[in-house]
A and B are shown apart, each in its own frame.
Chain A
Amino acid sequence: MGYEHNVLALNPGHECDRICAFIREQVYTVYRRSGIVVGLSGGVDSSVTAALAVRAIGRDNVVGLVLPEKESNPVSSRFAAGHAAALGIACREIDITPTVDSVGGYAWRDEYISRLVPGYGPGCKYNIILPSDLLDRDAFSFYTLQVQMPDGSLKKKRLSADTFRALAAFASIKIRARMVHLYWEAERRDMIVAGTTNKTEFILGDICKYGDAGTDIEPILHLYKNQVYQLARYLDVSKEIIDRQPSPDTFSLPVSDQEFFFRIPFEKLDLLLYSWERGAKVEEAAAALSLGEDAVRRAFRDFTSKNTATAHIREVPRALP
């Protein structure tokens, strides 16, 4: 089996037809609803999903929701609204800040961070990051809290398991708040919610249980990120969205998906993941991808670790037979 660079190449027209048939069957036959609601983040995954939905069931049956909160990058909403306008779909923007705050979110989070990084307060921004490029340098996936002080200086603090869990739980409130708004919109319109998760995120667990994983259908879940870009170009998604660096857009200090979670550039990540999924030998994948064996070994170890830690997200809640 080959693991070369063209192994993930799609026939985009054929793939779009296949996904559109799936969407139509799910909406009209399986769920028996009237349309689709999709959350638009201004990123490539949700843009492709919305474009596929329009292609499948028509623009009058698709609703886009733009769901920023007070720490979102304003560019996200602008790109999302622009994409909805280009598709000709109904679009609503709802600020989810009050929903997040109703769980006690921001104040709790601010106090928590101020205990970890003294001096954190108004005017500060933060994110959490993993060690940089795993292919160049070995390191386990430990998170570092970065706080940008009002004067622009950075303070850093390595997170323990407990502190990581607390900050991740807060971040998940934002993602779950979006799920609540999506279902509120979908159910009263007799529609279903389309998820926007891709295969790269799903396998490695860059998804939130009952957040962005809380959906009715997942039209692009079988596609690696690289393949989503192929469809984006085919579907004429705008260049500004395609060229935009993927980001969780969850933290007040911007961070890329690579810095926050993946640790490997997408052009290499997907081929490595494809190889790992198929049980490729390290030396075999290294030769095919022109990478060092140590680098491939580190990537495979990281995939195993993330896939194991997030297995529960990919399963339905367990119960007795």
Chain B
Amino acid sequence: MDTASDKTGVSSLPVQQEIINFIRENFIAGRSDVSFGVEDSLIETKIMDSTGVLELVTFLEERFSITIADEELVPENLDSVKNLVNFLRSKGIE
């Protein structure tokens, strides 16, 4: 399994790294025992909860100056680092 700090799996590293940093700082800060891969579900691994999804959306909208529609708030777009990077790419964020 790729780890979140690996360079494999997704090519747009700067965006990926920003997402990883956000997750580390906001969802697992101070927990050295938690690691996650870029394809891991953030919900199923209990890294992100229902309120965390809202925090993540605010971060994405503000950091990348995008608007995320209600219909886009689905796991396919937001539930792993890889999905997030691909979702941002679909919004023109590389």
Do A and B share a complex? yes
- Chain A interface (Cβ < 8 Å from any Cβ of B): 131, 138-144, 158-162, 164-165, 301-302, 304-306, 308-309
Given contacts A139-B73, A140-B74, contact A306 B54 (CB under 8 A): no
Question: How far apart sit A217 and B32, CA to CA, in the bound complex (Å)?
Answer: 38
Determine which of B44, B46, B58, B78 lies in contact with A140 in the assembled complex, contact meaning CB atoms within 8 Å.
Answer: B78
* Highest count of chain B CB atoms <10 Å: which of A131, A140, A142, A164: A140
Question: How far apart sit A136 and B86, CA to CA, in the bound complex (Å)?
Answer: 25
Determine which of B46, B74, B75 lies in contact with A308 in the assembled complex, contact meaning CB atoms within 8 Å.
Answer: B46
Do residues A159 and B46 form an inter-chain contact, with CB atoms below 8 A? no
Question: How far apart sit A131 and B74, CA to CA, in the bound complex (Å)?
Answer: 11
Do residues B75 and A140 form an inter-chain contact, with CB atoms below 8 A? yes
**Residues of B contacting A: mostly:** helix
By a CB distance below 8 angstroms, the chain B residues around A305 are: 43, 48-50, 53
Determine which of B51, B74, B78 lies in contact with A309 in the assembled complex, contact meaning CB atoms within 8 Å.
Answer: B51
Given contacts A161-B55, A161-B58, contact A304 B70 (CB under 8 A): no
Closest residue of chain B to A298 (Cβ to Cβ) is B75
Question: How far apart sit A301 and B53, CA to CA, in the bound complex (Å)?
Answer: 13
Do residues B51 and A140 form an inter-chain contact, with CB atoms below 8 A? no
| Extra A-B contacts (17), CB below 8 Å, given A160-B57, A161-B52 | A131-B70, A138-B74, A138-B75, A139-B71, A139-B73, A140-B78, A141-B50, A142-B53, A142-B70, A160-B54, A161-B54, A164-B54, A301-B43, A301-B44, A305-B43, A306-B50, A308-B46
Do residues A308 and B49 form an inter-chain contact, with CB atoms below 8 A? yes
| Closest beta carbon of chain A to B40's beta carbon, Å | 13
Do residues A304 and B46 form an inter-chain contact, with CB atoms below 8 A? yes
| Closest beta carbon of chain B to A306's beta carbon, Å | 6
